[in-house]
Structure 1
Amino acid sequence: MKEVTIYTDGACSGNPGPGGWGAVLIYGDKRKELSGAEPSTTNQRMEITAAIAALRVLKEPCRVHLYSDSAYLINAFRQGWLARWERNGWLTVKKQPVENQDLWRELLQVASRHQVEWLKVKGHSDNPENNRCDELARAAIAALRRQEIPSS
């Protein structure tokens, strides 16, 4: 299996508000950057969307080291939240519907093709790849805003 390193990040201007996501994929000496935006979303949705988008572009099953500064994303896998939510019919321990269920289900589906190790990285610190993902996410928000401004 090919080994791929992925960094992801999501950002939101207001929460909810315009949001963006960024991902950096590294395989050997190859590098690919992805980004996107949505006009009205949340930071958590953008964090999950970044992971979905990055995993989706892999053309074959891979061994993946996926880094994110989102405790929400990483803990959902590492602390077994997703497995518990699935067992409980997508309800939290307080018997409330799991937020972002649509994206969690999609992420589980795309991740199932790969062997993914979910790794936490400290955000907005000295990790250049995480910082690049943040730049990509923020640039996507800025690009979205430029499209929303009517020309005179």
Structure 2
Amino acid sequence: MIELYTDGACQGNPGPSGIGLYIKINNERIRLSEYIGHCTNHEAEFIAILKGLEYCQQYYPNEIISLRSDSKTAVEAIERKFSKNENFQPYITRINELAETFPYFFIKWIPEKLNKSADQLAKKAIHNPL
């Protein structure tokens, strides 16, 4: 089973944004950080989840995924498969499509204090836009 921690961060809202992925699989730890341009904080959270699932699909397509995010907005919208904010719907649709490709997919909201690694990676990406 893979534990996938995701976070998005912005400097301003909207503003320069980054995502962080912290992946635990067995004894291995993978840390990924990416600058994603200008967007809102919520968009960055959805993009982080999407990129995390794309990474897992590419490298670990047959694993059970336990995704953890500190974004209640994103987690609840993905669980409901719907958001009143039309801008989020394409992310939600694509995330749910990817989730269905794994044998099992779980998503859970966690408090920020349990998502420090992904948070640090997302903030790092804002300051390293290469």
Residue 24 of structure 1: CA displacement? Answer: 0.7
Instruction: Provide the C-alpha distance between the structure 2 equivalents of 1:35 and 1:102, rounded to a whole number of angstroms.
Output: 22
Residue 68 of structure 1: CA displacement? Answer: 0.6
Deviates more, 1:50-59 or 1:133-142: 50-59
Instruction: Provide the C-alpha distance between the structure 1 equivalents of 2:78 and 2:92, rounded to a whole number of angstroms.
Output: 10
**1:23/1:54 contact within 8 Å kept:** yes
How many residues are aligned here?
Answer: 126
> Which consecutive residues of structure 2, in runs of 5 or more, have no partner in the other structure?
none
From 36, 41, 44, give the equivalent of 2:39: 41
Instruction: Provide the C-alpha distance between the structure 1 equivalents of 2:128 and 2:78, rounded to a whole number of angstroms.
Output: 32
Q: How does 1:134-145 map to 2 (within 5 A)?
A: 134-144=119-129
From 15, 24, 41, give the equivalent of 2:13: 15
Share of identical aligned residues, percent?
27
Residue 42 of structure 1: CA displacement? Answer: 0.9
**2:122 is aligned with 1:121:** no
**2:5/2:21 contact within 8 Å kept:** yes
SS at match of 1:99: helix
Q: Please, what TM-score do these two structures have when normalized by structure 1?
A: 0.76
**2:86 is aligned with 1:112:** no
SS at match of 1:62: coil
Q: Please, what TM-score do these two structures have when normalized by structure 2?
A: 0.87
CA deviation profile, 1:69-99 (whole Å, cap 9, x unmatched): 0001111234x2x1xx3xxxxx73xxxx622
> Which consecutive residues of structure 1, in runs of 5 or more, have no partner in the other structure?
86-90, 148-152
Residue 102 of structure 1: CA displacement? Answer: 2.4
CA deviation profile, 1:123-144 (whole Å, cap 9, x unmatched): 1x2x2xx111111111100012
Q: Give 2:3's aligned residue.
A: 5
Q: Give 1:56's aligned residue.
A: 54
SS at match of 2:98: helix
Q: Give 2:23's aligned residue.
A: 25
Residue 109 of structure 1: CA displacement? Answer: 2.0
Moved over 3 A (4+): none
**2:77/2:92 contact within 8 Å kept:** no
Instruction: Provide the C-alpha distance between the structure 2 equivalents of 1:74 and 1:132, rounded to a whole number of angstroms.
Output: 18
